[in-house]
Amino acid sequence: MHTVVVGTSGVTASDVLAVARDGARIELSGEAVAALAAAREIVDALAAKPEPVYGVSTGFGALASRHISPELRAQLQRNIVRSHAAGMGPHVEREVVRALMFLRLKTVCSGHTGVRPEVAQTMADILNAGITPVVHEYGSLGCSGDLAPLSHCALTLMGEGDAEGPDGVVRPAGELLAAHGITPVELREKEGLALLNGTDGMLGMLVMALADLETLYKSADVTAALSLEALLGTDKVLAPELHAIRPHPGQGASAANMLAVLKGSELTGHHQDDAPRVQDAYSVRCAPQVAGAGRDTLAHAHTVAERELASAVDNPVVLPDGRVESNGNFHGAPVAYVLDFLAIAAADLGSIAERRTDRLLDKNRSHGLPPFLADDAGVDSGLMIAQYTQAALVSEMKRLAVPASADSIPSSAMQEDHVSMGWSAARKLRTAVNNLARIVAIELYAATRAIELRAGLTPAPASQAVIAAVRAAGVQGPGPDRFLAPDLEAADAFVRAGGVVTAVEPVTGPLA
């Protein structure tokens, strides 16, 4: 099994995906263990002094003015975890919780938190054992980081609360730790707070959304090309010299992908009558511009994610010169903004895909295709209601595009008076990404059927490869009406698994 080594300088997106989705094992580097021990010495020295130090010998948030005596400090750390583990609602997905824990471990190992090495090792042991704390949908305002979700994870370290075992069964965390020979942690000064203060949940969901969207944007370029082909559109608008004079990188990449898919097609540029179109509709002609803008948004979000993955997010932080200083680095605004930006871009990509699908089904605009791509229109309804489903998904996408990060609701007796709502932005983006996959799948379903209905003209080799692959995946072709939902589900699974890209690239070469 792949092993991810966590050091002091952060982790990569591929590390997060390996741990969250593939169950990679985790090891702490010698450098990280040394940094943990050195920072702990600083915290222990400050804890022994009579002067109060925030997070070490004081209360938290609006209660930071109280100096806590040494005999109560272990209780203080336990209490902050227990009291902050106040989430409600459905359980969050396993991959999200694993990313959340792993990214908190990443910051702990930076040597800026003051956590003992044994606490970090226990976090790694829990992840390696396949134990997943139960984290709930609601509870985070994205400042001070994802407090409630991280608290539920810290509760598991203490052997309290509930967790899911590697078998998927939820049991008391203490039982699961005991079954895997893991000793619960007894928290000391600073440690409870250090386990809670971070943007780890929203960051983990950003990293996974970016990975999914990379595949979906390539798939959407392919389905847009298939729709153009099925509509007998022109590929001249994809010429590289046209995109060079408006040099947005994403636009050029999308146009190049579409042109590669359409190479060798006998359908492009043909017309069913003697009144050739001067121009294709915007949803066809402007596909690279819209998808390209989304790709550039992805590039910006990647930059933000890489910076955050290299960050040590905690409050207070231990500095190499021995100071322990309060700060505001836990605020989720940088991550929240791009999460919302991605939801906007995904909604627009879904919207333009639905417009192409609708055009394929409308006999007045499809240039010779049967109404609704039906076998016997009137007796058969064809894909009429598949487009309804796609339209419903697009409408939901538009609601999900309303930014969460523009909101703020004060908390902690007005101490935390401006919050990021980044967790909420991440949660709605996950729904948006799932919906986008379904929207692309429906366009794929309609476009492949439409191309097969164009008798006498040979589609591009890349198009033929996609059609063959999607049929092999159990998505049926043209014919009389049948139970449609299984076909749509199979198309959705094909898109999510990267089947579109996998089918095309042997013909086109790697897509941009």
Cα–Cα distance, 74 to 82 (Å, whole number): 13
Helix H or strand E encompassing 173:
helix 173-179
Q: Residues 364, 365, 367, 371: is their CA dihedral positive or negative?
A: negative
* pLDDT at residue 275 greater than cutoff 70: no
Is the distance from CB of 243 to CB of 293 less than 8 angstroms?
A: no
DSSP, collapsed to helix, strand or coil, labels residue 3 as strand
E strands, 282-333, are 317-318, 324-325
Whole-number Cα distances in Å, 46 to 67, 77, 304, 323: 13, 16, 34, 9
Catalytic residues: 54
Mean pLDDT over 21-40 rounds to 97
pLDDT digits (tens, 9 = 90+) for 445-456: 999 999 999 988
pLDDT band at residue 276 using 50, 70 and 90 as cut-offs: low
Cβ neighbours of 125 (radius 10 Å): 18
Could you give the C-alpha distances from 304 to 334, 339, 430, in angstroms and in order? 7, 10, 18
> Mean of the pLDDT values across residues 107-112?
96
| Rounded Cα–Cα distance for residues 81 and 481 (Å) | 57
> In this model, does residue 471 exceed pLDDT 60?
yes
Tell me the CB-side half-sphere exposure of residue 194, using CA atoms within 13 A.
Answer: 33
Question: Residue 431 is which amino acid?
Answer: T
For the chain, give me the number of helices (H) and strands (E)?
A: 19, 9
Q: At what angle do helices 249-262 and 461-472 cross, to 10 degrees?
A: 80
Query: With bands split at pLDDT 50, 70 and 90, how would you rate the model's confidence at 66?
Result: confident
The pLDDT mean for the chain works out to: 95
Sign of torsion over alpha carbons 462, 467, 472, 475? positive
User: Is pLDDT at 119 greater than 90 in this prediction?
Assistant: yes
Say what the pLDDT of residue 53 is. 80
Helix (H, G, I), strand (E, B) or coil at 28: strand
Predicted confidence at residue 64, as pLDDT, reads: 72
pLDDT score of 272 more than 60 = no
> What's the gap between Cα 127 and its chain centre?
20
Quick check: 217 pLDDT over 60?
A: yes
Residue 10 to residue 16: CA distance in whole angstroms: 11
Structure confidence at residue 271 as a pLDDT band (50, 70, 90):
low
Residue 60 has pLDDT above 90, yes or no: no
- The Cα 229–Cα 185 span in angstroms is 61
3-state secondary structure of 112: coil
pLDDT of residue 308: 97
Q: Which value, to the nearest 10 degrees, does the dihedral of the CA atoms of residues 356, 432, 470, 13 take?
A: 130
Count the residues in the chain.
512
CB atoms within 10 A of CB 25: 14
Give the whole-angstrom CA distance, residue 379 versus residue 400: 37
Which residue spans within 149-293 are E strands per DSSP?
A: 162-164, 170-172
Q: Which residue has the tokens 């959340």?
A: 100
Structure tokens at 360: 């394929």
pLDDT at 62: 65
- Looking at residue 188, what is its pLDDT? 93
- Which residues touch 173 (CB under 8 Å, ≥6 apart)? 131, 133, 155, 156, 158, 159, 160, 161, 162, 163
For residues 323 and 173, give the distance between their C-alpha atoms in angstroms, rounded to a whole number: 35
Chain CA centroid to CA 507, Å: 29
Q: How far apart are CA 5 and CA 71, in angstroms?
A: 36
More confident residue, 90 or 51: 90
CA 2, CA 481: separation in Å to the nearest integer? 47
172 — pLDDT class (breaks 50, 70, 90) = very high
- In the predicted structure, residue 1 carries a pLDDT above the cut 80: no
Quote the pTM value. 0.95
- At 322-374, the pLDDT tens digits run 898 989 999 999 999 999 999 999 999 999 999 999 999 999 999 999 999 99
pLDDT band at 274 (very low <50, low <70, confident <90, very high): low
Adjacent-strand bridge partners of 416? 411
Confidence of residue 144 (pLDDT cuts 50, 70, 90): confident
Contact yes or no for 87/137 (Cβ under 8 A): yes
> What's the token pair of residue 339?
């999460």
